Amino acid sequence: MEFKTSFSDEVIVSLVAFANAKGDTVCVGVSDKAEIKGVDLGKETVQNWVNEIKGKTEPSIIPDVEVFEEKGKQVVCIQVDEFPIKPLSFKGRYYKRIGNYNHQLSVSDISDIYMQTMQYSWDSYPYSSATIKDINLDKVGEFIQKVNATGRFRLPSSAKDALIKLRMLKDIIPSNAAMILFSKENLLYNVHIGRFKTPSLIIADKMINGNLFDVLEESMQTIIGHLKFAFEINGKTTQRTEIPEYPLEAIREALLNTLIHRDYQSPTDVQIKIFDNKIVFFNPGGLFGKITEEELKTNIYQASTRNKQIAEAFYLTGDIEKYGSGFIRMREAIGEYPTMEFHFKSSPQGFVTEFNYEKQRTASETQNDGGVNGGVNGGVNGGVNDLFIFISNHPGIKTSALVKQMNTPRRTIERWLKQLREENKIEFKGAAKTGGYFIVKNKK
Mean pLDDT, residues 303-328 taken together: 84
How many domains, the chain? 4
Q: Between β-strands 73-81 and 23-28, what pairing exists: parallel, antiparallel or unpaired? A: antiparallel
Please check whether residue 116 lies inside any domain of the structure. no
Q: Are residues 429 and 348 in the same domain?
A: no
pLDDT tens for each residue of 76-89: 999 999 887 788 89
The backbone torsions φ and ψ at residue 354, rounded to the nearest 5 degrees and listed phi first, read -135, 135
Q: Are residues 135 and 264 in the same domain?
A: no
Please check whether residue 286 lies inside any domain of the structure. yes
Most confident of 240-244, 358-362, 385-389: 385-389
CA distances from 292 to 21, 289, 295, 298 (A): 12, 9, 5, 11
pLDDT tens for each residue of 220-243: 999 998 988 877 666 555 566 778
Please check whether residue 227 lies inside any domain of the structure. no
Residues 6 or more apart whose CB falls under 8 angstroms from that of 98 comprise: 21, 348
Q: Are residues 174 and 286 in the same domain?
A: no
Please check whether residue 229 lies inside any domain of the structure. no
> Is a pLDDT exceeding 90 seen at residue 408?
no
Q: Are residues 352 and 255 in the same domain?
A: yes
Mean pLDDT, residues 56-65 taken together: 90
Q: Are residues 347 and 200 in the same domain?
A: yes
* Domain's final residue, options 371, 403, 420: 371
* pLDDT bracket for residue 376 (50, 70, 90): very low
Q: Are residues 152 and 273 in the same domain?
A: no
From the list 208, 246, 404, the residue with the least C-alpha distance to 337 is 246
Q: Between β-strands 436-439 and 93-98, what pairing exists: parallel, antiparallel or unpaired? A: unpaired
Q: Whole domain around residue 326: which residue ranges? A: 191-221+236-371
Q: Are residues 215 and 333 in the same domain?
A: yes
Percent of the chain at pLDDT exceeding 70: 90
As a whole number of angstroms, the distance between CA 95 and CA 79 comes to 16
pTM of the model: 0.63
Rg from Cα positions in the chain: 28
The answer to whether residues 155 and 233 touch, using CB atoms and an 8 Å cutoff, is no
Mean pLDDT taken over the chain? 86
> Is a pLDDT exceeding 90 seen at residue 304?
no
Residue 393 maps to which CATH number? 1.10.10.10
* pLDDT bracket for residue 372 (50, 70, 90): very low
As a whole number of angstroms, the distance between CA 62 and CA 80 comes to 8
